[in-house]
Structure 1
Amino acid sequence: MTLGVPVEPEAPDARELLLDELTDPAYAESQPTWFDLVAQSVIDWFGTLRLGEGGGPPALALVIGAIVLAAAIAAALLVYGVPRWRNRSRLTTELLGERDRRTARQLRRDAERAAASSDWPRAIADRYRAIARALDERTIVTALPGTTAHGFARAAARQFPDHAGQLEAAADRFDGVRYLDRPGTADDYALVRTLDEAIDAKPSPLPAVAELVGAR
């Protein structure tokens, strides 16, 4: 019996599936941080040293080298902050009051599909979540479990003050369709989408250290 499911997807569909798979947070979790790379380099360097051998450096030089390396690591921590060993499972399973592991790209895609079907509540909610997810992926603002739409908007406004009013307006639209059973409109979705595109086009503020925002 012949099945109707294609064995191999068409090229555009295959590309879409591949991009979705590669943007899954699980891949980011497995990548070493800059701190991991520096620490491994230090370990490897010490592994090449041999005390008591004619060709190796004297003990005093080793002590001085260790002090210099420790000072460099301490300075890096002061400048860039502690490496973000975050529990990604917690941060990616809840987003603005709902369990959601989608990436910003996936949320935007789903929002556009919902908008094409005039499903404005879903389109607005997904697009606002895309803003939150994108800022988390860019390590600018991290919405912890329990963060409200307006709590996130205030945190994001501190990083992008030019968009403070739009962020509050978008949070109002999100709360309206999410909690107040408002139907939403094409104009409401356009407001949130325009905000998402504007923020996404802006460079990350410096220093690029994520602001953690909890429920408030």
Structure 2
Amino acid sequence: MVLAPVLLLPTDSVPPLTPDGDEARRWAEQELSNPAYDAAQPTAFDRIARAVGDFLESLFATRLDGDWGPWAALVAAIVIVLVIIAAFLVWGVPRATGRTRASAPLFGGDEERSAAELRRDAEGFAGRGDWDSAVVLRFRALARALIERGAVDTPPGATVHAFARAASRAFPSQADALEAAAGAFDDVRYLRRPGTEALYRRVAAVDEQLRAARPLLSDAAGVRA
């Protein structure tokens, strides 16, 4: 019987089937350095949400009887509130997408000032004898104050007389004074009639009277342009 020759390889040329400790650690580090593993890692929010979900699941999986039921509901409510607060701290308060009602265009001008700021600026122009600017700004202060109080709501393009009519529904005792103040604004702003101290004092008096009065309507009166 003829035996086939057996090829014997040197032991150094045979790759090891079981790596030693250092080799296994090096292989593991190379594999974990793959970016695919980083993308698969859960985020901090994922871990928080999972922990909260597991807690609530274990909480409500338990039979809620006796005195444990109200306490469990209270704990669950506290956890939900804490999660909401954490979300606000991480992502911040949502920003308003639109402009506030107080900063809307006001009688042909893109007015951003508050009623107090408009009154202060109007008084400044009156002190310098610029009655045109003083009359215009004081009526805008009057209108802005009513808007800030929620007594009247003015859409873009509303005229001063439409505003005066809407304000009269909230302050019926000031209807004539409001119309006179609107006429003063109209004369100075659009008809180019010179402003006077008397006109300014008239508008300022109406503004002060409305500041001390309470609106008749609980909801803001609408104004048609």
Q: TM-score range by the shorter chain?
A: 0.5 to 0.7
Give the structure 1 partner of residue 81 of structure 2: none
Letter paired with 1:210 = A
Give deviations 1:52-101, integer Å, cap 9, x for gaps.
Answer: 542226xxxxxxxxxxxxxxxxxxxxxxxxxxx99434651411111110
Please give the TM-score of this superposition, normalised by the length of structure 2.
Answer: 0.57
Letter paired with 1:88 = R
Give the structure 1 partner of residue 142 of structure 2: 131
In 1, Cα distance between the equivalents of 2:144 and 2:132?
18
In 2, Cα distance between the equivalents of 1:212 and 1:127?
22
Contact 2:102 / 2:148 at 8 angstroms: preserved in 1? no
Give the structure 2 partner of residue 56 of structure 1: 69
For the structure 1 residues 143 and 86, does the alpha-carbon distance in structure 2 shift closer, same or farther, using more than 3 Å as the test? farther
Matched, 1:167 2:146: no
Any gaps of 5 or more consecutive residues in structure 1?
A: 1-46, 58-84
In 2, Cα distance between the equivalents of 1:161 and 1:206?
10
In 1, Cα distance between the equivalents of 2:166 and 2:178?
10
Letter paired with 1:197 = E
* Structure index of larger Rg: 2
Give the structure 2 partner of residue 196 of structure 1: 207
Give deviations 1:143-174, integer Å, cap 9, x for gaps.
Answer: 11101000000000011011100111001100
Aligned-partner SS, 1:133: helix
For the structure 1 residues 200 and 149, does the alpha-carbon distance in structure 2 shift closer, same or farther, using more than 3 Å as the test? same
Give the structure 2 partner of residue 42 of structure 1: none
In 2, Cα distance between the equivalents of 1:205 and 1:52?
55
Matched, 1:187 2:198: yes
For the structure 1 residues 51 and 204, does the alpha-carbon distance in structure 2 shift closer, same or farther, using more than 3 Å as the test? farther
For the structure 1 residues 190 and 86, does the alpha-carbon distance in structure 2 shift closer, same or farther, using more than 3 Å as the test? farther
Matched, 1:120 2:131: yes
In 2, Cα distance between the equivalents of 1:167 and 1:121?
18
RMSD across aligned C-alpha pairs, in angstroms?
2.3
Aligned length: 140
Contact 2:162 / 2:224 at 8 angstroms: preserved in 1? yes
Aligned-partner SS, 2:69: coil
Aligned-partner SS, 1:181: coil
Letter paired with 1:127 = R
In 1, Cα distance between the equivalents of 2:214 and 2:101?
27
- Where relative contact order (Cα < 8 A, 6+ residues apart) is larger, the structure is 1
Please give the TM-score of this superposition, normalised by the length of structure 1.
Answer: 0.60
Moved over 3 A (4+): 50-53, 85-91
Give the structure 1 partner of residue 116 of structure 2: 105
Any gaps of 5 or more consecutive residues in structure 2?
A: 1-55, 71-95
Give deviations 1:119-161, integer Å, cap 9, x for gaps.
Answer: 1111111010111100110011011110100000000001101
Contact 1:91 / 1:143 at 8 angstroms: preserved in 2? no
Aligned-partner SS, 2:150: coil
